[in-house]
Amino acid sequence: AKTQLGVGETKGKNYLFEIDLNSDGIKEYRMENDSVQITLLRTGARVIEYIVKSKNDNVLFKAWPEKTYNDKKPFRERGYYPYGGFEDFLGQASMETHKLYDAKIIKGEGDFVRVEMNADYYGNHIKKTFTLYGNSPLLEVRFELTFKNPEANVLGPQPILELGRKHWTEDVFTVPTMEGLKEYRMLPEKYYGQAINVKEGWNAGYDTMEDISFVGAFPVTQPLFLHMWMNHPDNAEAPHYYVEFQPWTPITQKTTMYFSYYIWGSGGKWQNGVDELRKRNLISVR
């Protein structure tokens, strides 16, 4: 087996605590340091907020706790439900969207903080471990899957992005394709998507007006492809403007498999985030 290891100096102070933001009796988890404020939901084990403090901006689209205009439609819960944040497609919506995970704090303060969330899906087990490192924006989401049902064969981890005040044409998204860097922007008049073969395991976004960026990193050889989706309000199940980048990853059956996704959001251009992840040996290359 091959692996990568990044080692850095211990520094900074992080905090982790429980909080009930919508008074429903179900605790959310808040991870925080000088760089970012992150909120986790037990429902779907999501990162629902990733706030870059220097810009006071959540780089992730968030609908929760609000619901869609057609929330009361019969069988609405069986369709895709836009909570927002960083989530994953796993047999949406019957398996993933509304599942309430068991959660526990592994480390509540110090040079890193960590939460584990576990759930059972019809005998298939998934654990997500969220770790915020140092006095930095670096958030790791580590998936551990032990699956036996062949119908659940692909995991689609995805950040649902809304950089700045809104997702609009000033936002530019960059992907390292096999042919070189390629840029994408939203089209106000329609939604569209594309499957992308990537040379390196990352994608980035940058709001050119508000000077804020997002970088997501993942093991480049695990996914089948990187799926880009520019959403539009014409989408009846998710009537919003936002963009998704999903590394569609096969699920290995009848064993335990792992997948890690890294998030780096900050003020400034996206190249800075890629450089910081590369310094930590978190950018994988084919």
How would you label 152-180 residue by residue, b for 16+ Cβ within 10 Å and e otherwise?
Answer: beebbbbbbbbbbeebeeebbbbbbeeee
Report pLDDT for 89. 84
Task: Note the pLDDT tens digit of each residue in 87-113.
Answer: 998 876 667 788 999 999 999 999 999
In order of 97, 99, 254, the CA distances from 148 in angstroms are: 20, 18, 5
Report pLDDT for 68. 82
- Peptide bond connecting 236 to the previous residue in cis, omega within 30 degrees of 0: no
With 70 as the cut, is the pLDDT of residue 283 above it?
A: yes
Q: Which two tokens stand for residue 230?
A: 């520019």
Q: Are 81 and 68 in contact (CB under 8 A)?
A: yes
With 90 as the cut, is the pLDDT of residue 6 above it?
A: no
Which DSSP string corresponds to 136-170?
SS-EEEEEEEEB--TT--EEEEEEEE--TTS--TT
- % of the chain residues with pLDDT over 70: 98
For residues 255-279, average pLDDT: 97
Looking up tokens 């909080």 gives 19
Task: Note the pLDDT tens digit of each residue in 202-251.
Answer: 999 999 999 999 999 999 999 999 999 999 999 988 999 999 999 999 99
For residues 192-208, average pLDDT: 98
Q: Which residues, 6 or more positions from 77, have their beta carbon under 8 angstroms from its beta carbon?
A: 93, 97, 98
The CA distance from 12 to 9, in Å, is: 10
With 90 as the cut, is the pLDDT of residue 137 above it?
A: yes
Task: Note the pLDDT tens digit of each residue in 18-37.
Answer: 999 999 999 999 999 999 99
With 70 as the cut, is the pLDDT of residue 129 above it?
A: yes
Report pLDDT for 9. 74
